[in-house]
Structure 1
Amino acid sequence: MLQELLKPEAVRVNLESEDKEELFEEMTEVLVAQCPGLDRAEVLDSLLQREAKMTTGVVPGIAVPHAINQKIKKPICAVGISKEGIDYEALDGKPVHIVFMLLFPADDTAAHLNIMQELAFVFGVPDFYKSLMDKNSGAQVVQAIVQAEESL
């Protein structure tokens, strides 16, 4: 499932952001680059509104900001990695190093739930976090995620 969603060109292994606001702006650019018809400000606003309800930094070191978008027909994802860590206001109060930012179509609740569930399973794979932190390219990150998913 994740293999179909992830693209090496949508992965940033050296995020420049230092805080959540910068991160959302940086990662929104990656999402919009995948789907040029999207309105950058609208995407950013929907992600920030969802995040305002409750932080998506719920897994130690990992955040999954996500939102619904009326203009897309299938889910899109951007992955970011920060070696230094990002002040994310996560539940554990610690920095986030890995970010999965997702947009879901408004009319596909099943895909939304299935992808979020699959990510939760992958996050539980032993050494998943460490394996991503060791990668230096988008292709390597995608390969590591696919391998983790296949190990389930």
Structure 2
Amino acid sequence: MKFSEIVVKDSVITDLKVENKEDAIRKLVGSLRVNGQISADNEESIVGAILKREELGSTGIGKGIAVPHTKHPSVDELIATIAIAPEGVDFASLDGEDVYILFLLISPPDRPGDHLRALETISRHLRNENFCNFLRQSRTPDEVLELLTEADQDEV
């Protein structure tokens, strides 16, 4: 699975400034709504589903990275967005550190295999320290998308 297949280009945020995890999730989901990927009617339900998933255990996986995700019946295909938080966000991460890179993934409930493949692709790339360093240094959505394109080409 490639980033280009799931990341909504116009929803990438490179200057996320929020106080906490819930605000970060709301901004990410909001960016998908603003760009027509989810309806305003479903926005709150999606935020709630992601927050409920967070109650099971933080998706702040450590090393400044979080991958909040959920399955939701309002989406027909996998959609994702990315935010860079230059000042960091307290995400109750497993290592207790702030999060600087957030990948949000929403999948249809009837495609669990695709959901897992997308999470695996995201996590594989996020284990690459160089990839993460360049992501954190990205100041524009275009810079983020260029990195994702390079990562996709490495998949071939």
Bucket of the pairwise TM-score, normalised by the shorter protein: over 0.9
Distance in 2 (alpha carbons) for counterparts of 1:21 and 1:124: 25
Residue number in structure 1 paired with 2:143: 140
Instruction: Report the RMSD for the aligned CA atoms in angstroms.
Output: 1.4
Q: 2:79 matched to 1:99?
A: no
Q: Match for 2:43: what amino acid?
A: R
Contact in 1 for aligned 2:9/2:81 (Cα 8 Å) = no
| Runs of 4+ off more than 3 Å | none
Q: Does 1:82 align with 2:89?
A: no
The unaligned stretches of length 5 or more in structure 2 are none
Count of matched residue positions in the alignment of Structure 1 and Structure 2: 152
1:21-41 deviations in whole A, cap 9, x for unaligned? 211111120122232435111
After TM superposition, list the pairs within 5 Å mapping 1:1-150 onto structure 2.
1-33=2-34, 34-37=36-39, 39-150=42-153
TM-score (norm 1): 0.93
In structure 2, distance between residues paired with 1:7 and 1:71: 16
SS at match of 2:93: coil
- How far, CA to CA, are the matches of 1:138 and 1:15 in structure 2? 12
Cα distance in 2, alignment partners of residues 140 and 50 from structure 1: 30
Sequence identity percentage: 25
Q: Which amino acid aligns with 1:98?
A: I
Q: Give the TM-score of the pair, scaled to structure 2.
A: 0.91
The worse-fitting range, judged by mean Cα deviation, of 34-43 and 128-137 is 34-43
- Cα contact 1:64–1:99 (8 A) shared by 2: yes
- Unaligned 5+ segments in structure 1 are none
- Counterpart secondary structure, 1:127: helix
Distance 2:57 2:75 in 1: 24
